[in-house]
């Protein structure tokens, strides 16, 4: 399976910056001997249409960073899954730790959002990951196991992203061994929850992925790609990570 390199712009990107990022990505993705991974960019809501139009007809997909559980209604400030689809998105990130922390999103709410996204035809990236304190007290697999059990509906046709909270935006990455252990655990949990279908779910790693560490992280068994925050705002860095995915796949790690 091809690895997926997904860019999460978070709350970054005015119109000029969105176009400045999308342009080089589109040019690189058009190169027939170029990238052999799947590419996805998730700009803020305000730039979705611009980025979707800039990438229309290219192999690069566009996604949102969150959606409401309802398709429409009196929810001031919220955006629904059909609205994302209407703006050109085919993917959505759900349950990111920044949403879980800053907006008190529970596993149950994330699960409802996954269902809403599926209904609207959006593929989901569902994020899980432990905090530094949870890891320090040896609870990392327990926490991730609970998040998986609570956040994923049956059936589940999306992607899971393992993002240790302490590695997000900190420059600290999990070690290869940490990633290998957690991704193997997540795979086992997915198979336990979903049977054979659980074997086909891509599991991304996220947390301070950059051009220097991407090849190593993407070569770890059961790593099906990367969810990239900060480095996705620099097209040259994002593309360097995407090229590392190809190398990792060719090495048999994908």
Residues lying near ligand PGA in the complex (CB under 6 A): 8, 163, 168-169, 206-209, 227-231
Catalytic residue list contains 196: no
Secondary structure (DSSP) of 117-179: HHHTTPEEEEEE---HHHHHTT-HHHHHHHHHHHH--SS--SEEEE--GGGTTTS----HHHH
- Asked if 110 contacts 94 with a C-beta cutoff of 8 angstroms, the reply is yes
104: left (phi over 0), alpha (psi -120 to 50) or beta: left
| Shortest distance in whole angstroms from residue 188 CB to ligand PGA | 23
CA gap 223, 40 in Å, rounded: 16
Q: Are strands 225-228 and 61-64 parallel, antiparallel or unpaired?
A: unpaired
CA dihedral angle for residue 196, residue 197, residue 199, residue 203, rounded to 10 degrees: -160
CA gap 234, 231 in Å, rounded: 6
> Which of 130, 163, 189, 222 is flagged as catalytic?
163
Catalytic residue list contains 163: yes
Catalytic residues: 96, 163
């Amino acid at each position: 399976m091809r690895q997926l390199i997904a860019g999460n712009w978070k709350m970054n990107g005015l119109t000029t910056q969105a176009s400045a990022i999308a342009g080089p990505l589109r040019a690189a993705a058009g190169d027939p001997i170029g990238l052999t991974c799947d590419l996805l960019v998730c700009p803020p809501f305000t730039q979705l249409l611009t980025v979707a139009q800039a990438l229309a007809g290219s192999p690069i997909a566009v996604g949102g960073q969150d959606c409401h559980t309802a398709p429409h209604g009196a929810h001031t400030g919220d955006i629904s899954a059909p609205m994302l689809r209407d703006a050109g998105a085919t993917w959505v990130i759900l349950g990111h730790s920044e949403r879980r922390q800053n907006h008190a999103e529970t596993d149950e709410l994330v699960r409802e959002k996954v269902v809403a996204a599926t209904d609207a035809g959006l593929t989901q990236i569902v994020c899980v990951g432990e905090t530094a304190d949870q890891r320090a007290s040896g609870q990392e697999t327990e926490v991730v196991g609970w998040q998986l059990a609570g956040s994923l509906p049956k059936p589940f046709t999306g992607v899971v992203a393992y993002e240790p909270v302490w590695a997000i935006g900190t420059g600290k990455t999990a070690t290869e061994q940490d990633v290998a252990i957690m991704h193997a655990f997540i795979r086992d949990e997915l198979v336990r929850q979903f049977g054979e279908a659980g074997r086909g779910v891509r599991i991304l790693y996220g947390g301070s992925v950059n051009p220097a560490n991407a090849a190593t992280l993407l070569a770890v068994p059961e790593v099906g790609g990367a969810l990239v925050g900060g480095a996705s705002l620099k097209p040259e860095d994002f593309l360097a990570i995407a090229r590392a995915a190809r190398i990792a796949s060719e090495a048999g790690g994908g």
